[in-house]
Amino acid sequence: MAGGKETPRQKMIGMMYLVLTALLALNVSSAILLKFQFLDASLQEVNKKTLDDNAGVVTNIQAAIAENKNPSANDQRVLKSAQQVRQETSEMVSYIQGLRKMLIDETGGPNEEGTGYKQPEGNDIVAMNMIGAASKNNGKGYELEQKLNEYAKFLRQYSDQVPQKLALSGKEDPVAQKDPAQKRKDFAQLNFEETPMVAALAVLSQKEAEVLKYEADVLQKLAQQVGADIIKFEKIFAMARAESKTVAAGTKYKADMFIAASSDNITPKMTFNGKPVKVENGVGQVEFVAAASNYDADGNSKQTWKGTITINQNGEEKQFPVEEEYIVAKPVIQVQSASVQALYFQCANELNIQVPALGAVYDPSFSANGGTAIKGAKKGEVTIIPSGTEVTINVSSGGNPIGSEKFKVRPIPKPEIVALVNGKPIDVKRGVPAQAFRAVEIQAVADEGFKQLLPNEARYRVTKWRAYLVRGNQPVDQGEFNGPSANLTSFAAKASKGDRVVIEILDVKRLNYKGNAVDVNVGTPNFNVPLN
């Protein structure tokens, strides 16, 4: 069914048509016959209301012209056209009602209880009357087809929204053309062949509903030309508009409260900042990402958006401007981290960055100037690896910039190099007994504060060192070792009281957050251990 935006009543009729089509495809039972009867009764009730509404539109056109002291020739032409449309429709509806009466009478009329019909099936009677005896295709169904299509042709001179045909054959009907058995049928066969009487009544009611629907569309279009169209507000609702949704304690809250309404008979066109707006059920949906470049001392920026609503009123387009003021609050970026004051150079500094003002819509992404930003698994989590002396973290939400935060970058504190003999720290003042200088371990101990903040970055290991057994100014023995531990039994065997062991650290490594070993510049620490 063609046409403009449908009213709820027209949508209901369309749904009934789909139900009717589905029922016609089912095997007939008493339950299905009863459903046909209910469907027919519902359509008849809706059609009566539509008839009254359409007659009221013609009356309104007459009243609008009567109020005009100097009606134009166009006004008279519109009235005459409306009356002709009403007359043609009345004749069409009367004809359909006559077919209904014929079928009811031919099948014995209503039953004694008055709840239905004596012969609700009557397939043969329907076929003989609507298709023709002996399939001669001379039944009333062909006359109905001609009248419906002539009526459609008549209405199209007033509105091109009326379809060219109201009576469709199987190959023209959008539902039947998908069924190989149905698409070969003509209009009368498609609607009345092997059709129970109550189903035929429902088909006639549906065709009557189509006639009245397109009459309503045409009359409404004619009424608009003389300002007699009636806009019925199907949706009425209360609204309130506050000066601000955020109010500080101790200050006044102010709002306007009013009634708003929308109609299915008008389809407004809406724009926002010159661009079309999606309209659903008469309500335009304005949606955009709030942004501002300048904020006041309180972190607020006053902004305005403008729109227009255009409706067709009395045949003319009327435009209503809309202007709304809103306030953009500068979002506060909260950074949670144990080392929030400064970040460590080339380390994985884990931060949790939140913007409470955005609430559930917060969809963060991060970038960094002077470093690398790696988004974490949870919302707001990010790992920053600084590569310079200062890092600027840029925060966005949903692709829209929110703000940035700057951080100083501190160097990684050097580890403390500790030498142990037989599991005990060396006392370079008191020395070590010569014969006891055997199991030696060199440890690189991380700064305690750095270790607490970034334990995955504070993993050190002495990977190379050298030891000399020195007597006077001459080396007696020496060895180079890979790894923190070594057995210096050979030194103990050669050592004498007064000798000394010189330990030189050659290489220290640190495992970073990726598990990669990186060089650590600890200088050239040495241990001079006297033997006694």
pTM, full prediction? 0.44
For residue 212, pLDDT beyond 90: yes
Q: Which of 34-48, 102-116, 240-254, 423-437 has the lowest mean pLDDT?
A: 240-254
The reply to whether 322 and 352 lie within a common domain is no
The reply to whether 201 and 239 lie within a common domain is no
Distances (CA, A) of 392 to 55, 295, 362: 73, 21, 20
pLDDT of 511 = 94
pLDDT of 311 = 80
pLDDT of 16 = 57
Q: Which of 7-11, 257-261, 313-317, 386-390 has the lowest mean pLDDT?
A: 313-317
CA separation for the pair 514, 374 (Å, rounded) = 13
pLDDT of 479 = 93
CA separation for the pair 44, 212 (Å, rounded) = 11
The reply to whether 36 and 81 lie within a common domain is yes
Binned at pLDDT 50, 70 and 90, residue 122 comes out as confident
pLDDT of 23 = 47
Query: Mean pLDDT over residues 440-453, rounded?
Result: 92
Amino acid in position 406: K
pLDDT of 147 = 95
Of 298, 329, 360, the position where a domain reaches its end is: 329
Distances (CA, A) of 78 to 129, 131, 263: 39, 39, 24
CA separation for the pair 485, 463 (Å, rounded) = 9
pLDDT digits (tens, 9 = 90+) for 319-361: 888 888 777 777 777 777 655 568 999 999 999 998 887 777 8
The reply to whether 139 and 36 lie within a common domain is yes
Binned at pLDDT 50, 70 and 90, residue 27 comes out as very low
pLDDT of 249 = 52
Domain range enclosing 425: 416-530
The reply to whether 92 and 131 lie within a common domain is yes
The reply to whether 17 and 132 lie within a common domain is yes
- CATH code of the domain covering residue 365: 2.60.40.10
The reply to whether 507 and 482 lie within a common domain is yes
CA separation for the pair 363, 354 (Å, rounded) = 10
Query: Mean pLDDT over residues 371-392, rounded?
Result: 93
The reply to whether 64 and 204 lie within a common domain is yes
pLDDT of 387 = 94
What does DSSP say about strands 371-375 and 381-386: parallel, antiparallel, or unpaired?
Answer: antiparallel
CA separation for the pair 2, 92 (Å, rounded) = 19
What are the backbone dihedrals phi and psi of residue 38, each rounded to the nearest 5 degrees, phi first?
-60, -40
Measure the CA angle with vertex 525, ends 520 and 528; round to 5°. 155
CA separation for the pair 314, 222 (Å, rounded) = 10
* Average pLDDT of the residues of the chain: 84
- Per the structure, how many domains does the chain have? 4
* Count of alpha carbons within 13 angstroms of residue 264, beta-carbon side: 11
pLDDT of 40 = 86
pLDDT digits (tens, 9 = 90+) for 123-156: 889 889 999 876 678 899 999 999 999 999 999 9
pLDDT digits (tens, 9 = 90+) for 215-234: 999 998 888 877 655 555 65
pLDDT of 457 = 92
pLDDT of 29 = 56
The reply to whether 177 and 37 lie within a common domain is yes
Chain centroid offset of residue 509 CA:
51
pLDDT of 440 = 92
